[in-house]
Amino acid sequence: MPSQKALVRRPSPRLAEGLVTHVEREKVDVDLALEQWETYVEALHAHGWETVEVDPEDDCPDSVFVEDTVVMYKNVALIARSGAESRREETIGVEEAVARLGCSVNWIWEPGTLDGGDVLKIGDTIYVGRGGRTNAAGVQQLRAAFEPLGAQVVAVPVNKVLHLKSAVTALPDGTVIGHIPKVDRPALFPRFLSVPEEAGAHVVLLGGPKLLMAASAPKTAELLTDLGFEPVVVDISEFEKLEGCVTCLSVRLRDLYA
């Protein structure tokens, strides 16, 4: 029986100081961001997910983007080592949370760097973005951790966006979706569907045909509804100003051993 737990972490009061790489800095409304985060967590609960709140890290502005700190495959948690040095403290609370859940814990070690947002899993295929935050040594260490467990690791160049999952995610049937101007090599994916909005490239699989996605992609929501999926829409405007998307705000744990 697959597990339906999700790690989440409440936004830091310093959220507005979060890093921006590929976008112009905009003013972030921290109070609104907290409301949006609570709505996001409620959406997970409403669709059968149990959330596990990681201890907050108030001095780390980007700590709400918990996905970047760890990559899960089966029962193994690979603790990331961000290419952004200012984000490395974020992993401490996450390491404790996954250990408490009974995961086997591994680490990315120097000189490797890896952000969890660069990792897209589709069944036993793990796509890893080689970009600004994840280096070649990080890719090699991810391979070493997960290939013995049955994963096939495929490295993908990422130059146009912050993370691989800023460019592409996957539908429940394994089709990869992305907004073409932001995807380096669409041909690397066996099945690729182009979506009309950048924010439309990001979905969290809630179970069955339900897809958690951002309110900023109404045309994509329409397209996916037309294909028989059920978008569950949340407004995450304040996180989008910091290059965040729906996947970044949680880590879905689907394969914990009962």
27-75 pLDDT, tens digit per residue, is 999 999 999 999 999 999 999 999 999 999 999 999 999 999 999 999 9
Q: What's this model's pTM, rounded to 2 decimal places?
A: 0.97
For the cut 70, the answer to whether the pLDDT of residue 252 exceeds it is yes
Q: Are 15 and 244 in contact (CB under 8 A)?
A: no
Confidence of residue 180 (pLDDT cuts 50, 70, 90): very high
Instruction: Reply yes or no on whether the pLDDT at 258 is more than 70.
Output: no
Q: In the sheet where 50-53 sits, what is the strand order?
A: 50-53, 5-8, 251-253
Residues recognised as catalytic? 163, 248
Residue type, 83: G
Round to whole Å and give the CA distance between 40 and 38.
5
Q: Kindly report, residue by residue over 115-162, the tens digit of the pLDDT.
A: 999 999 999 999 999 999 999 999 999 999 999 999 999 999 999 999
Q: So what's the pLDDT on residue 57?
A: 97
Q: Is residue 257 over pLDDT 80? A: no
Structure confidence by residue, pLDDT tens digits, 196-248: 999 999 999 999 999 999 999 999 999 999 999 999 999 999 999 999 999 99
For 175-213, give the secondary structure using H, E and C: CEEECHHHCCCHHHCCCEEECCCHHHHCCEEEECCEEEE
